[in-house]
């Protein structure tokens, strides 16, 4: 019965979302704690790790997006998951700063191969309208995978903190084999079969299309601007939140084993919240109308900004945890809504993966620009000041969302 289900692109997409998030969560439940406690990275090194990752994404997003549009969505995903797995394995095997940097480059390149390819593939195979539902349900499946993976990562990391990182890497390589066996491309027509063009010509044509679309389409301009500001704020917070949390007096002197359990418990609660929120959004069909998507994203941005300020100024463990969970949970809900938004406004489906790659590249530009700045503030002043700066960097998105809501948009 399962084999029959896996013949459907819809089900392959759901399973891939589940497995990828399951394996990612095996790694990321303990990843930052591994960097802070085992590799003992400083605040500036923590941010530099993220900056290297984002610089890699920035350099490779467009070329790998073109591979997806020019050759094969499936091939792009196979390469991507394989490289991500290798990067994670190296990171867990060698607990030194140089190895962490090398792993970021490797799995960053792998990420760019998968970025946009999966969303573009499902839209090609089942159509944009059905793809919106698939993306939302795929996000829920991914949340479910994360919920299952967190206690497993805690158990593995309790005895050896780098073990779930290495196992997650090996499993991600296995996911590339899953894609190879089960993913079918029956409705995608590679651009090199539509007309005889080179990779450089294809990249140039797609960039011209995106620039023209951005000039003509206000929604695309606003989406890319919002992606930029989210990039500016996110890198600093992602790398420094745990260091700020560990400054709480109640957590001083805790063992690595206890911290693994605590970090896993936090992520578990966030995933439960995200799963329920996405279920409600699906039941209310909020993802079917652009205006409802904008309202949800606007509310999400307000919650994140206020919670960033609350998190930075808190010293008690309860308030720190509550604010962190609001930030992390809200972001998990916003990601699939942003993908649905972009899928709905792309003017040319043949360049769909490249559009997603451009969005990812704009986000990377923001992280490359904002990350070192936030890291410098954290190193020279205080981490709480750096997180306040992150909140300030995000505030322009409120104006951008408001401008979206002032005008009615139809699909």
pLDDT in tens, 156-184: 998 899 999 999 999 999 999 999 998 88
Tell me how many helices (H) and strands (E) the chain has. 17, 0
What whole-number distance in Å separates Cα of residue 226 and Cα of residue 401? Answer: 8
More confidently predicted of 282 and 207: 282
Mean of per-residue pLDDT scores for the chain: 82
Would you identify the CATH topology of the domain 8-182+193-405? Growth Hormone; Chain: A; (1.20.1250)
What are the domain boundaries of the chain?
8-182+193-405
238: which DSSP letter?
Answer: H
Question: Which tokens in the block code for residue 407?
Answer: 């005008």
For 77, the enclosing helix (H) or strand (E) is: helix 73-93
Residues 6+ apart with CB under 8 A from 40: none
| Prediction pTM value | 0.71
With a pLDDT cut of 90, the percent of the chain lying above it is 30
Residue from 2, 60, 314 nearest 203 by CA: 60
Most confident option among 194-203, 258-267, 320-329:
320-329
Question: Tell me, what DSSP letter sits at residue 34?
Answer: I
* 3-state helix/strand/coil string of 193-226: HHCCCCHHHHHHHHHHHHHHHHHHCHHHHHHHHH
Tokens of 105: 């480059």
Task: Tell me the per-residue pLDDT of 19-44, one tens digit each, with 9 for 90 and over.
Answer: 999 999 999 989 988 998 899 888 78
Residue with structure tokens 């951005």? 214
State what percent of residues in the chain have pLDDT above 70. Answer: 84
Cα separation, 101 vs 98, whole angstroms: 5
Closest CA to 304 of 326, 276, 277, 275: 326
């Amino acid at each position: 019965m399962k084999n029959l289900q896996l013949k459907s692109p819809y089900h392959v997409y759901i399973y891939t979302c589940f497995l990828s998030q399951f394996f990612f969560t095996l790694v990321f439940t303990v990843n930052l704690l591994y960097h802070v406690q085992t590799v003992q990275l400083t605040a500036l090194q923590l941010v530099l790790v993220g900056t290297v990752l984002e610089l890699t994404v920035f350099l490779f997003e467009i070329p790998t997006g073109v591979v997806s549009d020019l050759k094969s969505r499936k091939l792009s995903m196979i390469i991507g998951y394989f490289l991500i797995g290798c990067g994670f394995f190296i990171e867990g095997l060698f607990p030194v700063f140089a190895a962490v940097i090398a792993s970021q480059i490797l799995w960053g390149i792998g990420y760019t191969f998968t970025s946009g390819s999966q969303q573009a593939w499902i839209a090609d195979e089942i159509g944009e309208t059905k793809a919106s539902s698939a993306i939302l349900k795929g996000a829920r499946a991914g949340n479910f995978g994360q919920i299952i993976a967190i206690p497993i990562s805690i158990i593995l990391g309790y005895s050896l903190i780098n073990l779930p990182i290495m196992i997650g890497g090996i499993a991600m390589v296995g996911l590339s084999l899953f894609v190879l066996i089960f993913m079918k491309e029956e409705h995608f027509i590679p651009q090199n079969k539509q007309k005889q063009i080179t990779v450089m010509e294809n990249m140039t044509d797609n960039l011209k299309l995106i620039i023209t679309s951005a000039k003509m389409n206000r929604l695309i301009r606003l989406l890319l601007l919002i992606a930029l500001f989210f990039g500016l704020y996110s890198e600093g917070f992602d790398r420094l939140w745990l260091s700020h949390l560990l400054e709480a007096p109640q957590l001083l002197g805790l063992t690595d084993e206890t911290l693994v359990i605590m970090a896993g418990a936090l992520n578990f609660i966030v995933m439960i919240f995200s799963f329920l929120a996405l279920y409600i959004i699906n039941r209310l069909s909020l993802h079917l109308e652009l205006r409802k998507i904008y309202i949800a994203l606007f509310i999400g941005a307000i919650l994140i900004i206020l919670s960033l300020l609350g998190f930075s100024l808190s010293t008690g463990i309860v308030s720190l945890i509550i604010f962190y969970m609001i930030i992390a949970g809200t972001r998990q809900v916003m990601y699939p809504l942003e993908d649905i938004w972009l899928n709905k406004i792309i003017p040319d489906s043949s360049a769909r993966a490249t559009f997603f790659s451009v969005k990812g590249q704009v986000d990377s530009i923001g992280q490359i620009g904002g990350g070192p700045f936030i890291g410098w503030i954290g190193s020279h002043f205080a981490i709480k000041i750096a997180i306040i700066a992150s909140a300030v960097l995000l505030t322009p998105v409120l104006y951008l969302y408001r401008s979206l809501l002032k005008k009615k948009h139809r699909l």
